[in-house]
Amino acid sequence: MELIQDETDEWSQGAIVDVKTVNATYDKIIPNICGDGYEQVSILFLGTKDYCGYTDRSYRVGGCFRKSKGKLTYGIDQEKMNIYKDNVICIKRNSNLTYHNLIESYRKDNCGTG
């Protein structure tokens, strides 16, 4: 039931009508950097796992065995990212145009009324 509610909430958001980038770095983040009417996009980087690399170029995900001669490389932790290649991605939504509205309009145009 939660999945259906999440999907309904997502489809109820205003449709994205514009995308822009703003140059930024982590040491120079400005509040409301996107400007009026825009919201900053962030993504979830899922991270990587630890792995053990061996001299024969094989590897094992999750770490090295105790007596192995492998080299352990630590994974990267999961992180919410909001800067990509020194740019913030900003989107503008039209709150009057939701995906529910678009589907309803499509049905009327392609299936008739009734």
| Residue 31 within a domain | no
**Is the entire prediction scored with pTM above 0.85?**
no
| Residue 61 within a domain | yes
Q: What is the mean pLDDT of residues 31-51?
A: 89
| Residue 26 within a domain | no
H-helix or E-strand containing 14?
strand 14-23
When pLDDT is cut at 50, 70 and 90, the band that residue 27 belongs to is: low
DSSP state of 84: B
Q: Check residue 101 and give its pLDDT.
A: 74
pLDDT for residue 20 is more than 90: yes
| Residue 96 within a domain | no
Instruction: Tell me how far apart the alpha carbons of residues 102 and 67 are, in angstroms, rounded to a whole number.
Output: 60
Q: Check residue 91 and give its pLDDT.
A: 93
> What is the residue range of 74's domain?
43-81
pLDDT: which is higher, 6 or 63 = 63
* Of 42, 45, 38, the residue nearest 19 (C-alpha): 38
pLDDT tens for residues 54-99?
A: 888 888 898 888 777 889 999 999 998 888 888 889 999 988 877 7
| Residue 22 within a domain | no
| Residue 25 within a domain | no
Instruction: Tell me how far apart the alpha carbons of residues 60 and 75 are, in angstroms, rounded to a whole number.
Output: 13
Average pLDDT along the chain? 82
| Residue 21 within a domain | no
Q: Structural domain tally of the chain?
A: 1
Q: What is the mean pLDDT of residues 47-55?
A: 91
